Structure formats: structure tokens, C-alpha cells
Amino acid sequence: MALFDRLSRFTPQLQGLLRIIAGLLFLSHGLVKLLGFPPGAMPGQQQLTTLLGAAGIIETVAGILITLGLFTRCAAFVASGEMAVAYWMFHAPNSFYPVLNMGEAAILYCFLFLFFAAAGPGSFAMDAVRRGKRADG
């Protein structure tokens, strides 16, 4: 128990690290849709006027903002909503079970970003600098 008590001192830093990693991964989904990068990744480059193109814009912008910890709560709220829509529109109709409908990532992103919308960015966020607070927690 003492180990976990000691680890809890690092909650803001671990929350910030989780936000950065989640933001970068989310950004990568947007870059695939907007730029087709990296080549060969699915679904590949999309037209901006399509639903997947709009998703690419949201994922790229929100991914950058979440990674930087800038306007984190708003960006995370939008990203959470996008992932809820993605799950119910594209995954759930294929099967009730997320492991079969390939929707685990959408569900996880949805609730992870909902957490950041509620809890804030943690450490290492530009939001803290913008408000004149310490950026390292």
C-alpha cells in the first residue's frame, strides 16, 4: 500500500503524460485522414467534404491542442463527442460486441477525453502557462 501512496504524489505528472500520449495518438488518426500519413495506413487520405474528412480535421486540431495542453477541456470535450459519434455510427451497427465491431479504441478515446474534459490537463500543459500558473504541476 505504501508504494501506491507514494505513486499518488505523481498524479498530476502522470495525468499530463497520459494526455500527451493520447493527444499524439489521436493526432496520428487525423494525419492519416488529412494527409495520408503514414502511407498505407487506413483509412488513408480523405476528401475534406466527407464525414471522414471532417473527422480528420477534428482529430488533427484536437490532437494538437490536447497534446499541448492548450484549451484542453474544450478540445477533449469535442474529441470525446466525435468518438461517441464514431462508435455509434460506424462500429456499433456491425456488432453488439466492441471486440467484434473494432470499436474498442473509439470507446476508450471517448471516455479518456471525457475524463480530461472534466479533470483538466494535468501537468506540462500550456493552459497553466496561459493562466499564469506553473506548467509542471
Query: If you search the block for the grid coordinates 498505407, which residue do you land on?
Result: 40
Q: Do the beta carbons of residue 50 and residue 23 sit within 8 Å?
A: no
pLDDT, tens digit, 9 for 90 and up, residues 72-104: 999 999 999 999 999 999 999 999 999 999 999
Retrieve residue 135's grid coordinates. 506548467
Taking the whole predicted model, whether its pTM rises above 0.85 is answered as yes
Give the dihedral of Cα atoms 8, 12, 16, 18; nearest 10 deg. Answer: 20
CA–CA distance, 19 with 88 (Å, rounded to integer): 24
All cell numbers assigned to 16: 499530463
Domains in the chain: boundaries: 12-130
pLDDT digits (tens, 9 = 90+) for 98-126: 999 999 999 999 999 999 999 999 999 99
Q: Are 64 and 20 in contact (CB under 8 A)?
A: no
Ramachandran sector of residue 50 (left: φ over 0; alpha: ψ -120 to 50; beta: rest) = beta
C-alpha cell at 35: 494527409
